Amino acid sequence: MGKRKQRLLRALGRSAEGVLRGLEEAADRPKQLDYFIEVMRAAYVDDCLAERLELSEPRPKVVGIYCVMAPEELVYAAGAIPLRLCGGSHEASCAGDELAPRDACPVVKSALGSTALGAPSLYELCDVVVVPTTCDAKRKMGEELAQHTEVWVLDVPHVKESEGARRQWLEELHGFKRDLERLTGNRIKRRALKEAIAMLGRAQHQARRLYQLRQAPVPVVRGSEAALALHAFAFDRADSWTEAMTRLNDELEERTRHQQPSQGAQRPRLMLAGAPSIFPNWKLPNLIEEMGGALVTDESCVGDRYLYDPVGAVENTMEDMMVALGSRYLMPCTCPSFAPNDDRLFRLRQAVEDFQLDGVLYLVLKGCVIYDFELQRVEKLMRELGLPVLRIETDYNPEDVEQLRTRVEAFIEMIQENTQLEVGA
């Protein structure tokens, strides 16, 4: 093991452990959360994901996936294991600094750093990585990753409306399927795909259950906890994750029944919108909760949006399942790499209603132009709905935490003052 890799492992392990400890310190955390903490610990701190996944001999192929457009159903149906690789480590992003332009976003830098140094080792575990062409940074990242590993580029159309784009996308998925078959040597059979869709369907069902539980007027789980549990899907087998998530949901349901709030019920209900907070970058979720906000939802592709949409196959013919997968992984996705992306505004409007939101924190990761572009539309929408929006531009560097703290605190104070006024008036 190279010295640089060892150093990076140590450094990112430390900051990941810090986040996990923080979650463990909350005495009132759901008991069933510990499973997800252990998944993340295995991935980032103990660096033993391969052992945890119990990859039997002969070792199944492991497929690394970026973004949320590559159907994991196909990976499972081919007998391979998918891992989600989008990076959230400050230390890895520093290692990736020299591999990407200065203005590239930290997600890309972190992924490049982790791949180049092979830390955490789960990046080395992947036999191949799939890079959907979402934003410019991800697309170019795919090119750079190819220096270190085998890369499959999945061409995602950026205009969902046109039928031609959707047909091309379906073709692309057929290509993905053929590539997987070649990689694993297994033909993807109808039955296997049907079972994979059902398996992920169960995971999606549980994710949706959590989503609905979090809409309760009294929050029964912290946003930082829920986000971690959802995020753990990236590094776990779908069926084990679903079991753990079922247990967590059962516990939360129990709490809802007994009205056991996880934090004060009076806290302003906030959404963390914009760019995703990827583990271990727990900067904003932690700040929001430390400063007295209740983080009830996000629109992150490693959080509430990760497993929200189900696959709607009906006929279970191969073609029908492929069409259903194509729809699921393209159409309802509200990533701002799509244009026009009015769908996102509809989703946000619905979230404001479902979660009875009081305010929106809008994360712009430095270099993520597309989320920043859509900020204006989101602000306009929220003005219409009477909700304040706080834009926070930052990266994974912890140096600005204190400045951000003041802004987040003032934002939450502002909401509290205003709601008090409303009650008083």
Residue 331 sits in the site that holds other proteins (CB under 8 A): yes
Residue 202 sits in the site that holds other proteins (CB under 8 A): yes
Residues 218 and 349: their CA atoms lie apart, in Å, by 21
Nearer to other proteins, 377 or 407 (CB): 407
- Placement of tokens 């990941």 in the chain: 16
CB of 90 to other proteins, least distance (A): 18
Residues 205 and 308: their CA atoms lie apart, in Å, by 8
In 79-103, which positions are buried (b, 16+ CB within 10 angstroms) versus exposed (e)?
A: bbbbbbbbbbbbbbbbbbbebbeee
Residue 421 sits in the site that holds other proteins (CB under 8 A): yes
Please count the other Cβ atoms lying within 10 Å of the Cβ belonging to residue 282: 23
Nearer to other proteins, 124 or 320 (CB): 320
Size of the site for other proteins (CB under 8 A): 55
Q: Which of 139, 209, 366, 377 binds other proteins (CB under 8 A)?
A: 209
Residues 162 and 166: their CA atoms lie apart, in Å, by 7
Residues 362 and 271: their CA atoms lie apart, in Å, by 8
Nearer to other proteins, 146 or 318 (CB): 318
Nearer to other proteins, 6 or 317 (CB): 317
Nearer to other proteins, 35 or 152 (CB): 35
DSSP annotation string for 151-186:
EEEE---S--S-HHHHHHHHHHHHHHHHHHHHHHS-
Please count the other Cβ atoms lying within 10 Å of the Cβ belonging to residue 314: 9
Give the pairing type, strands 128-132 and 151-154: parallel
Instruction: State which H helix or E strand residue 151 sits in.
Output: strand 151-154
**Residue 208 tokens, joined:** 């949706």
Q: Please, which of residues 148-177 interact with other proteins by CB under 8 A?
A: 160-161, 163, 167
DSSP annotation string for 236-305:
S-HHHHHHHHHHHHHHHHHHHHTT--SS-TTSPEEEEEES---TT--HHHHHHHHTT-EEEEE--TTTTT
Q: Which of 185, 258, 314, 376 binds other proteins (CB under 8 A)?
A: 314
CB of 290 to other proteins, least distance (A): 12
Q: Which of 124, 240, 253, 377 binds other proteins (CB under 8 A)?
A: 253
CB of 247 to other proteins, least distance (A): 9
Q: Which of 310, 369, 375, 397 binds other proteins (CB under 8 A)?
A: 310
Residue 347 sits in the site that holds other proteins (CB under 8 A): yes
- Placement of tokens 């003005």 in the chain: 383
Residue 102 sits in the site that holds other proteins (CB under 8 A): no
Residue 339 sits in the site that holds other proteins (CB under 8 A): no
Nearer to other proteins, 265 or 410 (CB): 410
Residue 398 sits in the site that holds other proteins (CB under 8 A): no
Residue 27 sits in the site that holds other proteins (CB under 8 A): no
Q: Provide the β-strand partners of residue 128.
A: 63
Residues that bind other proteins (CB under 8 A): 160-161, 163, 167, 190, 198, 201-202, 204-205, 208-209, 246, 250, 253, 257, 309-310, 312, 314-315, 317-320, 322-324, 327-328, 331-332, 342-343, 346-347, 349-350, 353, 388, 400, 403, 406-407, 409-411, 413-414, 417-418, 420-421, 424-425
